[in-house]
């Protein structure tokens, strides 16, 4: 039987969440270019992150 070892590393990344005019919230990070997450609530947005 083959066994695979999966290694993971966790990082703390600053996230900025702002309300959108059309409703919902947008999360982005000043240190991860292109990182975006959008949700209907702050909690939903954080789950996507």
- Kindly state whether residue 3 falls inside one of the protein's structural domains: no
Instruction: Give the total number of structural domains in the chain.
Output: 1
The verdict on residue 5 lying in a domain is: no
Whether residue 25 lies inside any domain: the answer is: yes
What would the pLDDT profile of 1-49 be if each residue is shown by its tens digit? Answer: 667 777 888 889 999 999 999 999 999 999 999 999 999 999 999 998 8
CA separation for the pair 33, 37 (Å, rounded): 12
pTM of the model: 0.74
Q: Note the pLDDT of residue 2.
A: 67
Buried b (16+ CB within 10 A) or exposed e, 25-42: bebbeeeeeeeebebeee
């Amino acid at each position: 039987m083959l066994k695979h070892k999966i290694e993971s590393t966790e990082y703390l990344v600053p996230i900025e969440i702002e309300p959108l005019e059309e409703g919902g919230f947008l999360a982005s990070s000043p240190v991860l270019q292109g990182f975006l997450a959008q949700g209907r609530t702050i909690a939903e947005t954080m789950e996507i992150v």
